Structures are given as structure tokens and as C-alpha cells.
Structure 1
Amino acid sequence: MDTTRVSSTAFDGTPQAPAAARRFVRQVLGEWQLSHLAEDAVLLTSELVTNAVVHAGTGLELTCRLDPNAIPTKLEIEVDDHHPTRIVPAPGSPPPGGMATTGRGLVLAGMLADAWGVTYTGTAKRVWFRMELDKACGHESASRIPAPAPAAIATSTESLHVAVVVSDHEGRIVTWNCEAEALLGWPAAQVVGRPLAELVAWRRHGPCALSLSDTLGLGRWRGESRMRRLDGGLLPVYISHLRTDGRAQDRRSIWMVVSNDHRYVLAAPPASFKREPGGRIKDLLDREMPLDELLDTIAQIVQLSSGGDAAYVLVRAEGGSRFGVVAGSGATAGLVGVVAAGVFSTEQKAPAMVEDLLAADVELAQRLQARSLACAPLIVAGEVTGYLVVTAAEPARFDQALTASLQHIADQVAATVQRERLAEQDRAHRGRLSFLAEAGELLAGVHDEELIAALTAQLVVPKIATWAAVYLTDLAGMTRLAHVWHSEEHHNADLRKALPVIPRSTLGEVTWPVGPESVLSFPLMTQGRSHGALVIGRIEPTLPLELADLLADLCRLVALNLHTAMLYSRQATTSRVLQRSLLPMRVAPMPGLESAVVYEPAEEGADVGGDFYDLFAVGDHWCFALGDVCGSGPEAAAVTGLARHAVRLLAKEHYTVADILDRLNRTLLDEGEDGRFLSLLCGQLTPLPQGGALCTLASAGHPVPLLLRANGEVVPVATSQLLLGVDGGARFYTESFELLPEELLLCVTDGVTERRDGDRLLDDDDGLTAILSGCSGLSAHAVAERIRQAVESFASEPSHDDVALLVLRATTALRAGQVVNR
């Protein structure tokens, strides 16, 4: 006689089919007294039905078949769809049509089932798996199905009393029925109003380790305890607990209590995870696989087996009491990075259940897009290292049995997860340091905000994100899109069009209409100021904790560089404006004379150094000055400005050259700047009727100017006197000579004469005189350029001193009626 048991049902190919299939298989296996197989069977059924919904999209038939006469006893579950042309993809291969799936369904079948396969017919496709009871049951006999419970109850029902006890939100008894009086002996008048805790000898037992107050806060709970009788004895009892909904002050805890001998009246079927599900989870942990795949598989097992909408694996952040997501499964809402302590705490070492997350943690409810939450801690060496979390969109979805199931799984996986995570953390830490070092080296010394934005986007694509965009905020608080970068460059233009150029709200609240990716925004903050945000798009719905920490560190580094670039830009702008004020706007044209100037500060990026020059008209003559301040940098530039403006002001007040030097000498001494000496060559040029000019000059510690005569002879034309800023009693004198047509006067600073190549100087053995002597017949500009090239090529190393030179060349006399441009 065929004793095979068969139970079938049908579903529409809708997203609700997997949940209905899970309920059906759990019910059938409960009726067949195979609840110890339910977890593996439900997990595999849910995966196969999900695959059928995704790949076939037709109606489904689900059949459970049990053959008790087979050796060993076999349970087969098959899923039929009506789209036979859709071939089930092999593990790891892409599905037909490029449809993205996890590809883990058949891997799970290979891990959890004893056999599986696919059968094709002309009108249907059948995917099935088989489980052998002797392998799955372990301690139970597999040669037969467990016999049903006997109809007769050994314990007498004459002593059965079902007590009903109701307590308020403070745990005080408000209802005590007559059955409670018969069971425990207390009349209602003596117990109503008393704390329930006074009548319960509570024991923190089992994997949940809940206190009495924790239990009263649960929606549902069943378990053993002891209650005090009127005669002082303790009665072992079995309790079924239910808490009502409503406002906190109106909630009631309802207890149905029987003696432990009659627990069968209230006891629920065995919890789905209480038994080791055929050693399947242990087998999973024994397999060598990458940590992310292990965590994803654990999250999927938890989500599918619990019937929740989503499941997460959280781990404890380094050096803190916060937790971050490392894996997710189901309809994940994109829980990102670190969550603050609250529902998840290092002190909470028991599983917990939140019936309405909106009432407990609104921010977390919004991030998870969930109302119900159940979680169990991962505990290693007495420390909470993480959590397994299940969520659902509707409130009051879970019960206490699920929290016990979660804790059962958490206890099995905690040590393995912690071990693998520590190893992964070590690898990730090295990679993180390497990445940040590379980023720091790339961004170091970059003072352009646009370039920093471009480099930042290219740092995270494609290593971390599919695309990235950088928004910058200026000093006025205006935020704009600075740069975008996509892993496929031809999408850059489309990405820029899709993103808001100027966000109308804060970047954390912008809706990003950019396609299927999960879009995450990270602020660029430093010293309490926002410099913008880094926005990334990822295919993956969740961002692992390590990546969230890495991006946070990168954003701090980028923000710091943006802050530095902002300060540099502001300082550079200020410096340029000030430096321009230290240089003459233009060189005054002189009839009968042509001039040329070379000015090269030694400091990179500077417009002004310690050297300065000036050439300007005063009445019917012209004045020139060439000076060199001791030192360099901003301090020297400040003295430069003082000296140049003082010379101009004194000359326009018609002071003589000697008087200009005297007054400038006293001014420098009055400033009190120790060591701020100044060499200065100052002169006046008065045009001569026959052409050329009368030159009156004085040199205060400055290199002596050289005169190139028309015949090629070079002679010095001044005597070097004391430096300015040394002696307040010093007196200066002038010397005069005629600068005739075709003659040329060369004035230089010591950056020319002391240009060094090893131990040799450019002016050793009258080197500058020799260079100038070869410049006969050249214009002033040509002579200036030849001297500049000689200085530059004198040594292979760049000059470390400011270079300034002024060339004045006499020409023919000003013709009658010619206009002088001033």
C-alpha cells in the first residue's frame, strides 16, 4: 500500500507568493510532525518560489511529498511554473536576459538539501529538492515518521485550572479570576493592586535571559516559571503571556497560567530554530568563503526563515559603543554606516523585540522604513560584538519565539563572524591606510578647489562607487555642482544633467533622480564649516561599515584640503593686490632716453621680493631708484614698499638725491627693525640740449653702476657709501656725469653680481664688465635681456636671490615740437 503523503497548493506569480509558500510548508510539516526540518525546508522553498516569480512570472504549484517507507525516509518539495523555456541558471552564471539576481538560491540548495534538480516538460518546469530524514533528524529515528501524540492525556484533567491574571502597565494586578484562586489559593481581594512580581519567583532562564519586566513589555511570550501559593510554597507553572496594544498607560499584560503538569494546554509547537536544523548552519560556517559572502548568506537565511521584510547583520564599530551594518537581505532600505546606541547597545545582552519602532526610535524607523524589529546580540567572550536584526513594515509582526530563534542562530555564528571579521579588519585597515595615504599624496599641495573636486571624484570611482559628484560651498554659503565622474565616461554628460546644479535644499535632503543606484551623501566638514558634499551612487543597497568609515575619513581629508585651498586663495589674492601696490604701475617715458627693466623675485609665486626699482618724472627731470632690502619674503617686501614710496614722495617734494638718502636712512632707524638694512642707488636725470642727460646719483652700499661708452669702454660711475639703516649720523654725497647719446648706464642689484656657481661669482674678475662690453650698439631692451640670460645660464641651479636691473640708454635730442607722453 502506498503510504506516501502529498500536500499541494497553487499561487499566483506575485511578490506575495514566497511568504504564502513559507506559511504553507511550515503548516504541512507541522501536521506531519516534521517541525525539526521546517527551517531548512522553508528557506529552500522560499528561494525556489522567489526564483520562479522572478524568472517565470506565471502561476505556481507547490507540492510537498513524504515517503515514509523509503530508506532513508525522504521529504521532497517541488515548485512548478508554466514557463519551460526559461532555464534555471547555474550557480554563479548570469540569468537569461541579463536579469540581476543574487545567484545564491541553487548554492543554498546544494548546501542544505541532500539532492536537487530541474525537470522540464512541454508545458512546465519543475524545480525540486530532497531532504533525507536520517541525516536531518540526528537524534531521532529516521526509519519512521514520529508517531502522533496519544489521544489520552496521562495527567488528570480534574486538577486542571486555567488561571487568568491581568496586570496594568506598572505591573500591578487588576484582574484575578476564580481559576487563579483555585490554582494558587489567593483570593482576588488579597492580590488585586499588588505587584505581580511579589507572586512570581522569576528565573532568568533559557537563551533569552529576560527579566520579568522585560517579559511584561513583550507582545507575546510562553515559558516556565514558579508562582507563590497562599501557603508559601512555590508551584511550577507554564505561562502564556499577551500584551494589549494602545497607549502606554492603557496597556495590559494578560497571563494564562496552568500548572506545569498541564503545560500541553498552552504550549506552542517547537520553535522553528530551537533544534539544530540538521547541522546546516554549522555546515555553512565550516565552509571557507569570503567574509562578505558569509555575512550576506547569514542575512539571507535569517530574512527568509523569519518571514521578515529585511534582515541585517550589524557589527560593533571599532573603539566605541555604536554598531554599523555589514550585510543586508530582503527589501533593505539602505541602512548606512553607523547607528547610535539605543535599540542596539553593548549592554543589551538579551534578544529584544520592538513592536512599533516609531514609538521607540523615530530616526531608526525612518532609516529602516520599518515598524517591527527583532534583534539578537552576537556575544563573544561576554562582549556584544554585533547583532542579527529582522524588520518588517507593519507593526507587531514578530513574537518572542522569533527572538529565541534569532538568538539560537546568533549563538552559532557569533564566534565565526568575529574571527573572520578581525581578520578582514586587519586587511581592510591596511587597505584603508594605503588608500588614504594615496589620497593624501594626490591632494597634497593642490590649492585649486576645482582640481580637488575632480581628484576626489576619481578617487572613489570605480573603487567604491559607480559614480560620484562633488558639490562645493563658497564663503557666501552658495552650493554648486563642481564635478561629476562616472565609471563609464560616456555617461558623464547624462549624469551632470540628472543632478541638480544648485540644490534648492540641504544636500542630505535632496531627492536624487539618477536611476537604480543607491545614492548616498557625505558632508565635507572641517572646523565646523561645510565645504560641500561628496555624493556617490552604488548598485549595492547597503554600505558596509568599513567603507562608511573610509569615506568619512576621505571626506575629512578632502574638506581639510578645501579649507587650505580656500585660505591659500584668499591669501594669494590679498598678496597679489598688496604686491602690485609695491611695483610702479608703468615706467615713465623720457625724451632722449630709452629704458628697460628686468625684475625676478626669487620666491616662487611672489610678485615682489626684497629688490625694487622705480623710474618716474618730477617736473623737467626724471628720477630713478634701484634698491635691495636685507632678507626676503613678506617682511622684506614691507620695507621695499616703504623705501619705494618714500623715495617717490621725497623726490616730488624736490629733495636732492643726498637728502633723500639721509631722510630714508633716519626713517629706517626709526622703524626699529633690527637688521633691516637697505642698499639703494638713487639718481636724477636732466635732459641735455645736445641729447643725452646729466645724471646725478648716489650709492648707499649698492653695487656700483656701470657706464658703457660708445667706443665699447665700460667704467664705474659712482662710489659705494654706507648702507641705509646702519648709522643715524651718516651723511651721503652725490656724483654727476653726462650720459651722452649712444651711451648706456647699467644698474643692478647683488642678485646679478653675486650669482653663484660653486665658489665662483658672476662678477669675479670684472665678469659683469666683460658681459656689458660686448653689448655696444644694442638697444636698452636687448642689453637687459642679454644680462638676464647671462645671469640665468651662469649656473645650472636656479638663483636664490632676487634679480633686478635697470638699463638707461641715451638717444638723440628731443626734436622741436615733439610731445612727451606722460
Structure 2
Amino acid sequence: MDTTRVSSTAFDGTPHAPAHARKFVRQVLGEWRLGHLAEDAVLLTSELVTNAVVHAGTGIELTCRLDVEATPAKLEIEVDDHHPTRTIEESDAEATPPDTMRTSGRGLALAGLLADAWGVTYTRTAKRVWVRMEIGDGFDRQEALPAALPLAPPVGSLHVGVIVCDRDGVVESWNSEAEQLLGWPAKEVVGGPLEKLVAWRGHGPYALTLADTLGLGRWRGEARMRHTDGRLVPVYVSHLRARGQRSAIWMVVAADHRYVLTPPPAPLRREAGRRIKDLLDQDMPFTELLDTIAQIVQVSSGGDAAYVLLSADGGDTFGVAAGAGAPAGLVGVLATGVFGADRKTPTLLDDLLAEDVELAEQLRARSLACAPLLVSGEVTGYIVVTAAQPGRFDQELTVSLQHIAGQVAVPVQRERLAEQDRAHRGRLSFLAEAGELLAGVHDEELIAALTAQLVVPKIATWAAIYLTDLAGMTRLAHVWHSEERHNADLRTLLPAIPRTALNEVSWPVGPETVLSFPLLTQGRSHGALVIGRAEPTLPLELADLLADLCRLVALNLHTAMLYARQATTSRVLQRSLLPMRVAPMPGLESAVVYEPAEEGADVGGDFYDLFTVADHWCFALGDVCGSGPEAAAVTGLARHAVRLLAKEHYTVADILDRLNQALLEEGEDGRFLSLLCGELTPLPQGGAVCTVASAGHPPPLLLRAGGTVEAVATPQLLLGIEPDARFYVETFELAPDEVLLCVTDGVTERRDGDRLLDDGDGLAALLSGCRGLSAHAVAERVRHAVEMFAAEPSQDDVALLVIKAAPLRQVRT
């Protein structure tokens, strides 16, 4: 008999391959009772697989081979890739001592140190790197040998009795083999109860009654049946009842011939309990512990998938904590029809679809067996095995699952509580980091980008953010992959879903499990967070964390939406407070500088206007006391009132009188206004006559052609203070090449410590140096002087209006 044991697997050549390989080797050596070699073997495997991933980049095949008959017994580990042209330079591994500071080039050096032999084999299509480890004298060869089949008694004594009975246990059919086995002729038992022929005795704490067994779809086990001579005959029974049929079929053989009806030996199932015990003695992360339990259960049961469920929401519901096999990316809480806090015994369902359609769809399974994790009489979770076909499991499996559940329940709960404490601290830290990062961000695109980078690579391999606008249109806003070079390909693969419900989208099939989380707040969807993970299941704690993150992101998106709406409204209203354009004046040149002090604002407390009325032009420059919406309201009132009154041909003095009354009628105490208002009437010979009045405003400065500067208006009372105030105008001529400078107090009172810009007629001195400059050049020079006057930015709005009469040679006749 060939006693060599071989176990193989294959991986894609991705960065996840070394981790999968480590788990595989650790599992195989545990099954072969070679735990003392695990650390060195896992390290060697990790290095060889990593080299294959980095240097070959192809699919990888990993084989563990144990030869127990060799002297000494030996373990070989082989790693195959499909890039044989990439040779290995053996001299580097042998001649160069390993450098402890290097993170690469050490694989074969380690092989030389830890393995008894190693080598490389090349073929046309593959390259194999292998290491050999010799096993010491303490190795138990018999324990490592494959289980042998039991010796069978003589075939001549074999009788297979076939008994058919209905759901109530009444015998309907009894064949001749049953008569030879038990001595009862058919005429004496047909129509009678099966119960009288069976000395039914349950085996184990969770065994079923005879009536319960007859209702099952499938069952195998030992029993004792009464012979016609009165003795009890040990038998082995295989029970089968087709779905939808009332009749059940029993195939019965003597216990010595049980091998005829038992399934082929399943050494992994027999070893599952021992492997679980060894597992619990190891110190490993909680998630790895659950994953390994699920793997052991899935392999030992022969199911398509296995899960570890843990309680959620106070223990009333249960969610996926780990999975193995072929799960379909399960997230969060499962349907509670089968899993409940009050179900404290194992459950076997031949057809889950007939019991719970929702759960069958979630698990993509028809057969299900499960056993509860009981701690102090309370259900804290479940061990679950599923299969895609109906009727795959028997009652023996539930007993095995309950045995495993009894082993792991208390250790898992203890580790879970410790993990929950660690996860709670990590969760708070993660959410605090996310909240700090997203705080004050009012741009949807930036929120989407930050969210994706929060998730990748901590939680997922890649993430995509879909955003839904007020009209219900959804768009892909941002994608982020742990390997940035894949971002463009990922964006191409992900679907555009303008009006498809996010829960109805078919995500692309790939190596990662794709999961979608809605961004919901205040009953409104702002889109979805879609992630791809290499792991097939998402632990419940991570699902809860992502749900909290999505709520936080949705709240920030909602805030950003409100901010954008308010900012748009504010911007439109603010822009209405300033003229759309400045009216051109033949023979005159104008320039305006307007800089609100508030960051991001279009309009502050200062305002200006320059417009045409009949044959002359009007200008205004004002400053409202205060800031905010109240100041903006006064700004709007003042600018539009000046323009309206001027269009009605009111004089400058009358405009100030009427505006003063309007402000007082508003009834807001302390809401006053300084205003410089004037008219410009062009002269035939060039220049213009200027009529101006200053209501508490800094007086305008006139730069004469000779370079002198003089104030051309006297400050009068502020508007909005005294109802009986009367205003007067002053008139002067703006000759060709002369400049009129009008400013607000943001210019004259620009502060640097205790010094003001206009101290010692500083503004007049600045203007005197602008002789010969255009209006725009004068405005820019004054603006630059204000900006550079102090290191700190200005805390007040800055507005200035420059009007220059064109030189005579430029005046049109």
C-alpha cells in the first residue's frame, strides 16, 4: 500500500497568496500531526510563495508531500509557478550570507538554513522550487498513515432487509432479507407498528425519538431490533424518506455489516474534534481563530460552505463572523427563522428553501445543519454547514457539530469579549479619525475621495463611492484601489447606474467579494459605499463599523448639500448687491477694487456703483456699519435706493436726504451708513464737472495735473442717525489728466500695530506718486499698498473707486 500522503492547492499570483499558503500548510501539518515542524515549514512556504508572486506573477501550485516509510521520514513542500524562464541564481543563495537588514533575496538563504535539502526543477511550462525536511525519531508513523478500511465479516452472512412504513410508523412492506435477518415473516409484521420491532434507544444528548427519525429525510445510525426468538439483534439502519412522500424506507443490516450502508470513511470528520482542541491551545487573533474553525468544520463535514455566526443586537439576532468554502459574501444579520436565541438544540434541514426562502437566498443553499454555541444556557452563536443540493446531511453531522460547538463556545465567547473591547477602542479611534478628517468639508467630491481612502486598505482592497443628487440621479463619484495603477480599470468595470436602485445592481464578478452599503440619513439616500474584499465574508464587527462610517459620511454629505444650497443662494443674493457692470464714460476712465474681508464672500459691508443717468454719470461708494445678513440688507437698500432716486432725477443732496429717512424708517438701532455720492457731467473741452456730498465718509482726494493732492468734499453726518439732518453738495472741476480717488475706511484705517495707513496724510502722499498713471494702475498701486502695509491680512472690507479725466489729446471731439 502506498503510504505517501499528499495535499495540494492552488492560488492566483496575488499579494494574498502567501497568507493563504501559510494557512494551508499550517492546516495540513496539523492534520498529519506534524505541529512541531509547523513554524519552520510555514516560514519556508511564505518565502517561496512570495518569491513566486514577485518574480513570476503567474498562478501558483503548492504541494505538501509526506513519506512516512522513508528512512528517515521526510516532508517535502513544493511551489510551482508557470514562468520557467525566470531562473534562480543559486550562487546568491549559497555564497552570499543573509543580510538581516534586507527584506528581499532571502528565500533560498532560509531554505539552506532551515531545510535539510532544497532544489529547483524546470520544465517547458513550469518551475518548481522544493524544500525537504527530515522528521526526527519521535514521529509516530502509524498515526500519520491514512486510515485503513475495517475488515468485513463473511459476505455469506450479509442480509439487507428493506422495510417500508408510513409516517405514523405502520409497516407497509417487509422483504425476505428482513425475514432472514430477524426471523419475522411479512404476514406477521405488515400492518403493525414498527415500534414493537425496534428497541429504540437514543445515542447522545441530542438523539431523536423513533417518531422524529421517521419524519427525517435521511438518517443513518445504530439500533437494536427484536428477533422472533426474543433476543435483541444489533443492526445498522439507513433511513430515507423522499420529500413529499409519507412512506419511509429502512435498509437494515447486522451491525457487523454496517460498512455496506455507512458512507466512505471520513477521517477529517473524525479528527475535527481533535483539531479543534489543538486549535484552542494556540494563541492567534480572534478573526483567524473563527476562520480556522469555519475551515475545519467545512472540510470535515463535506459541505459546500461553513459559517460561524455570533449574536448581534443584544443576542436576538445572529450575523456572520467567519466563513469558509464557497460563501457568497455574506454581511450583517441573517434571517432569524432558523437561528434564534430560543433554539438550543441542533437543527437539520433537508430543504432550506421549503423552510425559509429568505435565508436560502442569503446562503445560496438548500441543505443546512447547525448547532448552537451555548454559554451558561444562553445561545451566543451557531456553527453552520450548508450545501447547494437538498438532502446532503444526516443526523450524525448534527451530533458532530454539537460536539464542536461545545468545545468552542466558551473560548470563542471569552475571546470575543476581549476582541470586542479592543474593537470598540479601535472603532472609536477610526470613527474619530474619520470625523476629524471629514469635519468642515463641504465639497461632495472631496468627501467621496476621503471616504474611499479611509476604507482602503484598512478594510477593503478597493472602494467606490456613488452619489445620488436631489433629482435621484446616481453617479460614480470616486474609486480607489490599494494598487493605484488599477484605479482606471476599476472605474471602467464598475457600472453606471443613473436610476437603478443600488440594491438591484449586479456588481462585476472578480477575485474580490463585492459588498454595498447605503449612505442614508434622515430617510434620504445620498448614494452608496461599494467595497471589494479578498475575504469571502465580512466579520460582523466590520459590518457594524462600516454602517457607522456610512452614517457619518451620509451626514456630512447632507451637510455639504445644505451648505452648497445655502452658498449658492447667498452668492446669488450677494451678487445682486453689486453692479453687474460699470457704465463706460466717454472722456473718463474708471477702475474699481473691491475685496471683502470675509473669506469666501463675494460681498461685504462696503458697496459701490457707477451708472448713467441721462447726460451725466452717477457714482456711489458706501460702508455699512456691521457685517452679516443685516449689513447686507442695508447694502441692498442703499445701493438700489441711490440708483432709483438718481434715475428719478433727484439731486445728490436729495438722494442723501431720502436715503437717511429710509434707513430711519427701518427702525434698526445702530444700523447707520457712510456714503459718498456724486455726479459727473462731461465738459466739451474735456474733463467733467463733479458734484459730490460725503455723509460721514472719508473725503475723496483729487490728484491735480501738477502733482498736488487735495480733499474735495467735507464729511457730514452719517446716514441713519438724525432724522432732521440736511445734506449739501460741493462742486469742483475734474480737469483732463486729473485723478479722483474715492476709498472706504478699509483703506484709510488699515492698521499696522498702532499706526494707520492715513496717518500724516499717508494716502495723499501715496496718491501724489501716481501722477501720469492710468486709473487701473492707480487702483492697483493703492491696493498693493494696503495689502503690504501690514503682515497680517486686513480685517476690514476694502473698496476704492478711481476716476481719471482723459488727457486732451485723447478726448474725442
Shift of 1:212: 11
Residues 164, 247 of structure 2: 8 Å contact kept: no
State the partner residue of 1:648.
643
| Rounded Cα–Cα distance in structure 2 between residues aligned with 1:275 and 1:475 | 60
Corresponding pairs, count: 697
The answer to whether the 8 Å contact 1:271/1:401 transfers is no
1:672 counterpart = 2:670: no
Contact 1:243 1:253 survives alignment (8 Å): yes
The alpha carbon displacement at 1:219 in A equals 4.3
**Any unmatched runs of 5+ in structure 1?**
1-5, 9-43, 55-74, 78-86, 137-144, 151-161, 168-172, 180-187, 197-201, 226-236
Q: Over residues 676-720 of structure 1, what are the superposed CA-to-partner deviations in whole Å (9 max), with x where a residue is unaligned? A: 222211111222344332222222222222233334433332232
In structure 1, what is the equivalent of residue 462 of structure 2?
467
Q: Distance in 1 between matches of 2:429 and 2:775?
A: 57
- 275 and 691 in structure 1: CA distance in 2 versus 1, 3 angstrom threshold: closer
Query: What is the alpha-carbon distance in structure 2 between the residues aligned to residue 89 and residue 547 of structure 1?
Result: 29
Local SS of the residue matching 2:284: coil
Identity %: 71
CA distance in 1, matches of 2:665, 2:771: 45
In the alignment, which residue of structure 1 is the partner of 2:595? 600
* 1:258-657 matches, cutoff 5 A: 279-317=274-312, 319=314, 321-502=316-497, 505-513=500-508, 515-657=510-652
In structure 2, what is the Cα distance between the partners aligned to 1:412 and 1:664?
89
Q: 2:206 maps to which residue?
A: 208
Classify 1:242/1:310 alpha carbon distance in 2 versus 1 (closer, same or farther; 3 Å).
same
Structure 2 Cα separation of the partners of residues 174 and 214 of structure 1: 10
Distance in 2 separating the partners of 1:727 and 1:238:
116
Report the alpha carbon displacement of residue 492 of structure 1 after superposing the two structures with TM. Answer: 2.9
Does structure 1 residue 751 correspond to structure 2 residue 746?
Answer: yes
Letter in 2 for 1:578: L
Q: Contact between 2:10 and 2:61, CA under 8 Å: does it hold in 1?
A: no
How far does the alpha carbon of each residue in 1:399-441 deviate from its partner, in whole angstroms, 9 at most, with x for none? 2221121111011112222222333333333333333333333
CA distance in 1 between counterparts of 2:45 and 2:380 reads: 32
Cα displacement (A) at 1:131: 9.8
The Cα shift of 1:373 comes to: 0.8
> How far off is 1:601 after superposition?
0.7
User: Post-superposition shift, 1:371?
Assistant: 0.4
- TM (norm. structure 2) is 0.72
Distance 1:816-1:543 versus aligned 2 partners, 3 A rule: closer
> Alpha-carbon deviation of 1:276?
8.6
Name the CA shift for 1:629/1:371 in 2 (closer, same or farther; >3 Å): same
CA displacement 1:271-320 (0-9 Å, x = unmatched): 99999978443222112223333222211211121121111112223645
Q: 1:176 to 1:480 in 2, by over 3 A?
A: same
Q: Aligned AA for 2:661?
A: R
**Correspondence list, 1:163-202, <5 A:** none
> 2-side partners of 1:424 and 1:588: how far apart?
72
Kept after mapping to 1: 8 A contact 2:65/2:77: no
CA gap of 1:727–1:358, structure 2 versus 1, over 3 A, is: farther
Q: Contact conserved, 2:686 with 2:811, CA < 8 A, in 1?
A: no
Alpha-carbon distance in 2 for matches of 1:754, 1:211:
98
**Counterpart contact for 2:152–2:256, Cα < 8 Å:** no
Gap change, CA 1:671 and 1:266, over 3 Å in 2 = farther
SS of the residue corresponding to residue 650 of structure 1 reads helix
Partner of 1:20: none
Aligned residue in 2 for 1:791: 786
Q: CA deviation at 1:256?
A: 13
For 1:739 and 1:794, locate their aligned partners in 2 and report how far apart those are by CA, in whole Å: 29
1:32-82 per-residue CA deviation (whole Å, 9 max, x = no partner) reads xxxxxxxxxxxx98xx5665999xxxxxxxxxxxxxxxxxxxx999xxxxx
Pair 675,465 (structure 1): closer, same or farther in 2 beyond 3 Å = same
**SS of 1:582 mapped into structure 2:** coil
Q: Contact 2:63 / 2:77 at 8 angstroms: preserved in 1?
A: no
Shift of 1:221: 6.6
Distance 2:664 2:235 in 1: 101
Question: Structure 2 CA distance, aligned partners of 1:477 and 1:675?
Answer: 47
Matches within 5 A, 1:653-664: 653-664=648-659
Query: Is contact 1:166-1:255 (8 Å) kept?
Result: no
CA displacement at 1:101 relative to structure 2: 8.0
C-alpha distance in 2 between matches for 1:88 and 1:807: 81
Code of the aligned partner of 2:663? L
What SS does structure 2 have at the residue aligned with 1:568? helix
Kindly tell me: are residues 736 and 351 of structure 1, through their superposed partners in 2, closer, same or farther at Cα, counting changes over 3 Å? same
Partner of 1:139: none
The aligned amino acid for 1:662 is: D
Q: Which amino acid in structure 2 is aligned with residue 803 of structure 1?
A: V
1:178 and 1:654, CA in 2 relative to 1: closer, same or farther beyond 3 A? closer
Partner of 1:28: none
Cα offsets for 1:369-413 (capped at 9, x unmatched): 110111112222333222111001111222222112111101111
Q: Does the 8 Å CA contact 2:329/2:515 hold for their aligned counterparts? A: no
- The one-letter code sitting in structure 1 at the alignment partner of 2:206 is C
* Distance of aligned partners of 1:563 and 1:308 in 2 relative to their CA distance in 1, 3 Å threshold: same
| Structure 1 residue 543, shift from structure 2 partner | 2.1
- Is the 8 Å Cα contact of residues 457 and 483 (structure 1) preserved in structure 2? yes
**Deviation at residue 765 of structure 1 after TM alignment:** 3.7
Range that drifts further, 793-802 or 238-247? 238-247
Structure 2: unaligned runs, 5 residues or longer: 13-30, 34-40, 79-120, 122-129, 155-161, 175-188, 195-199, 224-233
- Secondary structure (helix, strand or coil) at the match of 2:576 reads helix
Q: Which moved more, 1:678-687 or 1:553-562?
A: 553-562
Q: Tell me the amino acid that sits aligned with residue 676 of structure 2.
A: L
CA positional deviation for 1:264: 11
2-structure distance, mates of 1:735, 1:319: 83
- Give 1:801's aligned amino acid: D
Q: Which residue of 2 aligns with 1:182?
A: none
After superposition, give the CA deviation of every residue in 1:512-539 in whole Å (9 maximum; x if it has no partner).
Answer: 3453322222222222222222222233
C-alpha change, 1:815 and 1:748, in structure 2 (3 Å) is: closer
What residue is the counterpart of 1:19 in the other structure?
A: none
Indicate how the Cα distance of structure 1 residues 149 and 676 shifts in structure 2: closer, same or farther if over 3 A, else same. farther
Rate the CA distance shift 1:50–1:775 in 2: closer, same or farther, 3 A.
closer
| Residue pair 1:467, 1:485 contacting (<8 A) in 2 also | yes
In structure 2, how many angstroms separate the alpha carbons of the residues matched to 1:628 and 1:545?
61
Cα offset, 1:639, TM superposition: 2.1
Is residue 689–residue 813 contact of structure 1 (8 Å, CA) maintained in 2? no
Letter in 2 for 1:459: L
Q: CA separation in 2, counterparts of 1:417 and 1:618?
A: 87
Deviations 1:189-211 (A, max 9, x none): xx99xxx9xxxxx9999543989
Kindly provide the CA deviation profile for residues 528-580 of structure 1, in whole angstroms up to 9, marking residues without a partner as x.
22222222223322222233233323333333333333333333333333222
